[in-house]
Structure 1
């Protein structure tokens, strides 16, 4: 393994947890799932002993010496949302042993997959330093310290004959694309080919424009393969990839078509890796033996976090915001058509654009009917998943090109769109979105020097004890730059780490809990993986 040690800051960002509080769910190794009820000091005459209180189902209660991380662990969800174990029922021990056996089997399989991939020698990518410096000079900003560190690490990885397998974690808008560009340049300037895979056609088109803008200066061809690619261009691209003339290809799952052949593919970059299925990612990783892989995400899925923590993939964390990045003002409001129109009018008045995001297609259609009935003065486009792919993509590109003031859509816009003029977002029925979804949506705005605003409209009482109200209030509070790491951890607590070598994101973790899951995984892998 070529694992880079995670320093304390990066580890805390990815895996840090708040201190346990009474009411949190915990798992005791011998007694199972319980409600943590704090600790107390007990005077035993010649010594004091700290006792921890655990509450179980049907009034069961234990007070005993116990050390967090050794005898018991955080479960990762509120105790009130769970069915606690019964004391001394025997159910827990049977379930624990079954899950530990399954987890160890999963880990062994993952280790074997990693070893098999790394057993094939990679092509060392060693571009001419002057050419790489020329490419880097095309970046219009000063790289942040984290960007510099990640770029250096990635280039060092690519120079080796061991296949790179690196996860790049960075909050939305923190400059992951520039790191991907430098990696692609290292491959292309070394005479090799690069795949840039994106989950949506619109994001692929956006990457196409970014990569072409930077590679044109070096005379390196960048092509696209997606549903937006015309048939003639598609055929030319296939021929160019086979001959090696095209060095960089950007696309969606179309990149996995059987009729694509490469002359000297050396690097795959997977953007928004959490949006791809495990089978798709596995196919991309194994297109040719010894392939370098760079995966990127703002909100790593539980499986990726688990693999990163135990060293099955290497990790770079970009947690420093660009100087121009400012927090997005985020507030709650009632479902109100007039307030919605006022938010749009305010943004359009400063020559900006606005997103209006709905959870369901029916909500989009309802708002579209209202906008047309009222004869609004601003222009708008509509995009949702029930439209034909070409029509939907065209609507989004029309907005990205600045030809309309408002994009009314479902959450399909959450993946990676970068439009500096769009600095207001209204989320209709915001209570129907999850934390990570809301964070991804918020990342679409606030990419210019203008103040950005996100208005979460909901029909629920924001002051109630409802889970959705708690979630929305927490999201508004987590509006600082870099909140993505806190949100990813919160989302992980809700969903769990999942099955390490499969597609399920909540299986084993849902019964072992986060802390015990990680403990078993790390101790099992520590020997065989290193």
Structure 2
């Protein structure tokens, strides 16, 4: 059974039930939604497995949203109960705390004011000319975003997401050059010694024609050398210092640090990143990753961190062909032989040091034509360095290794990777490992071998492997990260709790609540469940739909309904209107009514109106307890036109007039809201 889409359920004022969904197949409380049949009159029809049908009014599509998160243990609530309301209230309370803490972080960063880097175009262009490759359009865009951030007086915190070999390091080097030109030091923090060594070699080569002092600190260096590097760093003699977790230790003293480059952020734990945030709070931070962890991705997608995506591959780069299957000795032999016979090299990943030598012997018997060696993290530093150097210089062609190759290995001649027991790895890790090959113009191959048939794997593992094998396109790292978010869950934006409050209500609704909560706190308005989650209900008894004759495809119609329900201002409505006319021609009356209702709902929500009703003989407006309309104006309206307006109860304003014409009805209500807008408490 496909359970990719899990839907929350909400109850409307008239007892109608709304399933939080967008499209597709899903389950709720033991019942499985097997079909979304599209628009009939004013309803979306959902068909259950037992042939029961749920009719969802298109007016109510503003309540529909995806549930993004781990779906194995998704909380499902009984229809008709108030559990969902209580869950939402608890989420809002949590959102208030998170929003307050985020705003405090923003305030602290603003108070401490980062350094505003100056930009010497002539010197910068001279450095750029040394780059031997042509930049892609994505690289150019991201470089401009980074330099723009650095020239602002607020400390930069930008995440760059791009596949392995897509040019993230060059962007980091240009940022480092700008920092050094402004007499600032640069720290490059990496997760492994191999990656530190690779970055050190690359930075040395890239800055060879400039008076820049670059050092590396890692376990490959002697204690005497490390102490000397630290002394020179404290004295300001080192411009760029590259290192692993040792850079987070208190004994590292900086003379004038201005930029931190964090590479492969998913390899650092939450506690590491909280520590980085505390000790590097007022400097510019540039984070590089191929597949951001869900927590980091949440922060970027929520607008809490600035995000740049490099999705276009360098010229002549081919996608990596990926195969997912159970271990098969004949397949392994064919894959290795094909690569070896064309003069290439192979990574054979077996992540168990205890049995890695046995695995190497097994491969030697299976493929006697290959020259095989072993590399793993428990080798002595010098021995590991020699193995990697020999592989780089093609002295052997099959490297049996552990995940030590995950970062820091750039060997263009290696075009095949075979990962044994791939089901034991995470999505981001598999993507990183696959990225070890395909770094030249040759066709690359990745084999993900499982220890058991696919049907015996757990649901999460199966989804992970299917995601990595189906997304072979270059630049798929960001998409895989979103899959990871859906599979593993979102994680809290602050703190180390990986499940977070998002699990209970879904990522989409949580981020919407968080955005509204931040806005409320910023402008000093009261924060409550009613104000954050309330959406004006409109019932005007007129046909406001996108007719099937106008947009025949049901998925396209549902897409436009969803987009209309998500608009935030009048300009977005106008853009949608132009798109509809451009794609489908002149809008019929029903579609025109739908857009007008969308405008009315926007205005009503901004005024704090809960519900608007309209019919042939008039209508009514229900105000919330905290609406923004001047009470004096409403009282004067009652005095001036008592035959039209009167109050029914405390918060319900009725109006009596001839509104039998649909356009007249809509225009009358729109004009009334416009008058309310001119007499708000805010103004």
**Are positions 1:25 and 2:18 aligned together?**
no
TM-score (norm 2): 0.67
Instruction: For residue 436 of structure 1, report the CA deviation from its aligned partner.
Output: 2.7
Which of 509, 520, 545 does residue 516 from structure 1 map onto? 509
- Of residues 171, 188, 194, the one that matches 2:163 is 171
- Equivalent residue for 2:189, pick from 180, 194, 197: 197
When residues 525 and 379 of structure 1 are mapped into structure 2, their CA distance, relative to the original with a 3 A threshold, is farther
**Are residues 1:116 and 2:108 paired?**
yes
Equivalent residues in 2 for 1:472-483 (5 A)?
A: 472-483=465-476
CA offset at residue 27 of structure 1?
1.8
> What does residue range 39-438 of structure 1 map to in structure 2 within 5 Å?
39=36, 48-51=41-44, 53=46, 63-65=55-57, 70-76=62-68, 82=74, 84-288=76-280, 290-361=282-353, 364-371=356-363, 376-384=368-376, 395-396=387-388, 398-400=390-392, 402-438=394-430
Q: 1:424 to 1:39 in 2, by over 3 A?
A: closer
Mapped to 2, the partners of 1:96 and 1:377 lie a distance apart of 63
Cα distance in 1 for partners of 2:10, 2:317 equals 45
Which structure's relative contact order is higher, taking Cα pairs within 8 Å and 6+ residues apart? 1
- Counterpart-to-counterpart distance in 1, 2:39 and 2:330: 61
Structure 2 residue 446 is the aligned partner of structure 1 residue 451: no
1:503 aligned residue (496, 506, 511) = 496
C-alpha distance in structure 1 between counterparts of 2:175 and 2:154, whole Å: 15
Q: Distance in 1 between matches of 2:367 and 2:51?
A: 62
Counterparts in 2 of 1:77 and 1:66: CA distance versus 1, 3 Å: farther
Instruction: Please state whether the residue corresponding to 2:493 is helix, strand or coil.
Output: coil
- What's the CA shift string for 1:348-371, capped at 9, x where partnerless? 233322111235445635413423
Equivalent pairs counted in the alignment come to 505
Alpha-carbon displacement from aligned partner over 1:33-82 (angstroms, at most 9, x marks no partner): 86455545687xxxx221454979x9998544367873132223686764
State the distance in 2 between where 1:54 and 1:502 align.
41
Aligned to 1:15: none
The answer (yes or no) to whether the contact 2:69–2:490 under 8 Å persists in 1 is no
Cα distance between partner residues in 2 of 1:200 and 1:22: 38
Question: CA 1:80 to 1:162, structure 2 compared with 1: closer, same or farther past 3 Å?
Answer: closer
* Comparing 401-410 and 288-297, the one that deviates more: 401-410
Q: Distance in 2 between matches of 1:69 and 1:522?
A: 20
Query: Alpha-carbon deviation of 1:254?
Result: 0.6
Extract unaligned runs of 5+ from structure 1.
Answer: 1-20
Going from structure 1 to structure 2, the CA distance change for 1:112 and 1:332 (only over 3 Å counts) comes to same
Partners of 1:430 and 1:456 within 8 A in 2: yes
Residue 6 (structure 1) aligns with: none
Greater shift after overlay, 136-145 or 481-490?
481-490
Q: Which moved more, 1:144-153 or 1:360-369?
A: 360-369
Equivalents in 2 of 1:28, 1:151: separation in Å? Answer: 44
Contact kept in structure 2, 1:23 and 1:37, CA below 8 Å: no
Kept in 2, the 8 Å contact 1:359–1:433? The answer is no
Distance 1:89 1:392 in 2: 62
> CA separation in 2, counterparts of 1:337 and 1:87?
53
Q: Distance in 1 between matches of 2:56 and 2:100?
A: 35
Q: Is the 8 Å Cα contact of residues 431 and 460 (structure 1) preserved in structure 2?
A: no
Paired with 2:522 and 2:356, the residues of 1 have a C-alpha distance of: 49
Question: Structure 1 residues 457, 41: closer, same or farther in 2, change over 3 A?
Answer: closer
Which residue of structure 2 lines up, in the alignment, with residue 493 of structure 1? 486
Distance (Å, rounded) in 1 between the aligned partners of 2:211 and 2:174: 16
What's the secondary structure of 1:270's corresponding residue? strand
Shift of 1:298: 1.3
Contact 2:333 2:366 in 1 (8 A): no
The structure-2 alpha-carbon separation of the partners of 1:486 and 1:288, relative to structure 1 and needing over 3 Å to count, comes to closer
Q: Give the CA deviation at 1:23.
A: 6.5
- Between the aligned partners of 1:475 and 1:236, the Cα distance in structure 2 is 44
Q: Alpha carbons of 1:311 and 1:133: their partners in 2 closer, same or farther (altered >3 Å)? A: same
- Secondary structure, aligned partner of 2:133: coil
Change in Cα spacing, 1:81 to 1:66, as seen in structure 2 (3 Å) is farther
Tell me the TM-score normalized by structure 1.
0.85
For 2:42, what is the secondary structure of its paired residue? strand
Rg bigger for which structure? 2
Change (3 A) 1:232 1:511: same
Cα drift, residue 121 of structure 1 = 2.1
Q: Distance in 2 between matches of 1:291 and 1:245?
A: 19
Deviation at 1:317, TM superposition (A): 1.5
Change (3 A) 1:203 1:79: closer
CA-CA distance at 1:85 after TM superposition: 2.4
Cα distance, 1:104–1:252 mapped onto 2, change above 3 Å: same
Q: CA 1:61 to 1:447, structure 2 compared with 1: closer, same or farther past 3 Å?
A: same
SS at match of 1:87: coil
In structure 2, list runs of 5 or more residues that go unmatched: 12-16, 21-26, 524-683
